[in-house]
């Protein structure tokens, strides 16, 4: 099968335009020094690792430290190359076409399914067994990367996106964190106001990113409403009534209720995070990466930033957050596969793994349940809350079966573009989802997969 099928979009949880601060911040975890130490002669093997974890300087530093330590212990040179999510698909495609893929690549599990189906990567069954199958959260192992009898990637980290709220704003208004959609709307309306008395609204209730390539926020709402893009058996359910209702409610926060900033239609993930850091919005659907950003850029807000479960449609209703994350793949046509697998095994060693996770302060969460019980995650209210949402997380609004074609649909931005169409008043929610279903069906045909409905 050709490797030139449409590539699948990343679900690492943070699809943002990155920049790396020149002064790297040390993580404070002793994982080995950075001083050069070849540990082997000039003919030592070299493995390359492509990663998108360069958005936060702490991650760059810890990965380089780990690479240095692995070199000293194993006599294998590790070349870590940092990319951004916006261009990694084209990088993989070009490398595969040239016959020069990296040894190890990071991406969402859907891409690994596609690459595995095309014979481009190696199964990693033995790595899963060595790390410990039963240690993994099933939500990010069997449910997403077990396909045709093999595991095609090693789960590296997970991220969830519940609701972040300004507790000080709530206190000012005499309100509690919302638990239902109705309460959330009331909170948003109360927070949207002129706080300095100059006649202009300068605070808004919610940071909605209309320029969302993948539609992750509204998909979580659809799942809570009893919907989802695909049924449990994998059948296309994009235009289900529950999805229509959720998308309409979500977009009405801007169109009808006007509780989001004026730039909502073009706002990206970076923009809405910036709104929160600048004190412009009081609720936001985001992940733990923002905690480090607040610590660096808005420390005065950090004590008042609290993660809470996503509000449910009705009292006592389902609570789901979007579930993202990244897996590690071993490319078949790259040399030194054994050394590449040894490096993955090294990254997942408890002390090294904890050091990497701690650098993001909640942006990356463990895929191993016992690591999630570590005091580091349990003694902090926000981290404990994020960990608690992993079992309730959803990717595309359904759980299995793994399907290589699903991620390709997301990669075509079908589920994000429909949000912009509704926000711009070009289509109703029902019309947008109907068109999205047609596009999804066509994508399945291109991917060689029939709708199971």
Mean of all residue pLDDT scores within the chain: 87
d(CA 46, CA 103): 9
Nearest CA to 220 among 309, 338, 93?
Answer: 309
Task: Identify the pLDDT of residue 325.
Answer: 86
Neighbours of 424 (CB within 10 A): 12
Spell out the domain ranges in the chain: 46-159+324-392, 163-320
In sign, the C-alpha dihedral spanning 32, 34, 37, 41 is positive
d(CA 423, CA 421): 6
* pLDDT tens readout for residues 385-439: 999 999 888 876 555 577 777 767 777 888 889 999 999 999 999 999 999 999 9
d(CA 432, CA 429): 5
pLDDT of 23 above 80: no
Q: How far is CA 133 from CA 38, 129, 147, 321, in A?
A: 34, 5, 15, 24
Residue 320 contacts residue 229 (beta carbons within 8 Å): no
* pLDDT tens readout for residues 364-387: 999 999 999 999 999 999 999 999
Nearest CA to 342 among 133, 54, 47?
Answer: 47
| CATH placement of domain 163-320 | 3.40.190.10
The average pLDDT across 191-195 equals 97
pLDDT of 143 above 90: no
pLDDT of 35 above 50: no
Q: How far is CA 123 from CA 84, 116, 119, in A?
A: 25, 7, 9
* pLDDT tens readout for residues 278-293: 999 999 999 999 999 9
Same topology, domains 46-159+324-392 and 163-320? Answer is: yes
54: its two tokens: 């360069």
Task: Identify the pLDDT of residue 29.
Answer: 36
pLDDT of 241 above 80: yes
Residue 27: partners with Cβ closer than 8 Å, 6 or more residues away:
58, 61, 62, 65, 355, 358, 359
Q: Which residue spans within 309-440 are E strands per DSSP?
A: 322-330
d(CA 33, CA 31): 7
Fold topology of 46-159+324-392: D-Maltodextrin-Binding Protein; domain 2 (3.40.190)
């Amino acid at each position: 099968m050709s490797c030139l099928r449409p590539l699948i979009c990343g679900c690492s949880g943070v699809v943002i335009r990155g920049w790396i601060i020149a002064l790297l911040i040390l993580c404070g975890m002793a994982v080995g020094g950075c001083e050069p130490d070849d540990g082997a002669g000039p003919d030592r093997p070299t493995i390359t690792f492509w990663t998108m974890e360069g958005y936060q300087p702490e991650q760059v530093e810890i990965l380089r430290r780990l690479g240095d330590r692995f070199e000293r212990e194993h006599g294998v040179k590790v070349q870590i190359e940092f990319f951004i999510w916006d261009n990694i698909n084209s990088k993989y495609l070009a490398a595969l076409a040239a016959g020069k893929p990296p040894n190890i690549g990071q991406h969402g599990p859907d891409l690994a399914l596609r690459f595995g189906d095309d014979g481009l990567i190696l199964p990693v069954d033995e790595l899963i067994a060595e790390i410990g199958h039963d240690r993994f959260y099933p939500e990010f192992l069997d449910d997403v990367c077990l396909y045709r009898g093999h595991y095609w990637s090693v789960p590296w980290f997970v991220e969830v996106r519940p609701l972040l709220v300004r507790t000080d704003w709530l206190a000012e208004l005499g309100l509690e964190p919302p638990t239902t959609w109705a309460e959330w709307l009331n909170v948003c309306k109360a927070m949207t106001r002129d706080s300095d008395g100059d006649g202009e609204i300068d605070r808004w209730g919610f940071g909605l990113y209309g320029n969302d390539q993948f539609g992750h926020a509204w998909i979580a709402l659809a799942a809570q409403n009893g919907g989802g893009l695909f049924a449990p058996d994998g059948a296309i359910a994009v235009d289900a009534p529950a999805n229509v209702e959720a998308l309409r409610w979500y977009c009405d926060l801007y169109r009808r209720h006007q509780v989001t900033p004026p730039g909502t239609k073009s706002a990206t993930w970076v923009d809405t995070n910036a709104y929160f850091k600048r004190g412009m919005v009081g609720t936001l659907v985001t992940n733990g990466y923002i905690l480090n950003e607040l610590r660096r850029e808005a420390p005065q807000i950090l004590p008042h930033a609290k993660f809470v479960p996503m509000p449910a449609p009705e009292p006592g209703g389902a609570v789901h957050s979007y579930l993202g994350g990244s897996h590690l793949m071993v490319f078949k046509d790259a040399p030194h596969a054994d050394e590449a697998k040894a490096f993955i095994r090294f990254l997942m060693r408890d002390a090294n793994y904890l050091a990497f996770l701690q650098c993001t302060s909640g942006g990356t969460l463990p895929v191993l349940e016992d690591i999630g019980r570590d005091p580091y995650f349990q003694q902090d209210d926000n981290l404990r809350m994020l960990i608690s949402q992993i079992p309730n997380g959803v990717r595309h609004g359904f759980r299995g079966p793994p399907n290589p074609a699903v991620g390709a649909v997301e990669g075509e931005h079908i589920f994000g573009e429909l949000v912009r169409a509704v926000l711009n008043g070009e289509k109703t929610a029902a019309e947008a989802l109907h068109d999205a279903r047609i596009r999804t069906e066509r994508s399945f045909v291109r991917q060689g997969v029939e709708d199971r409905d």
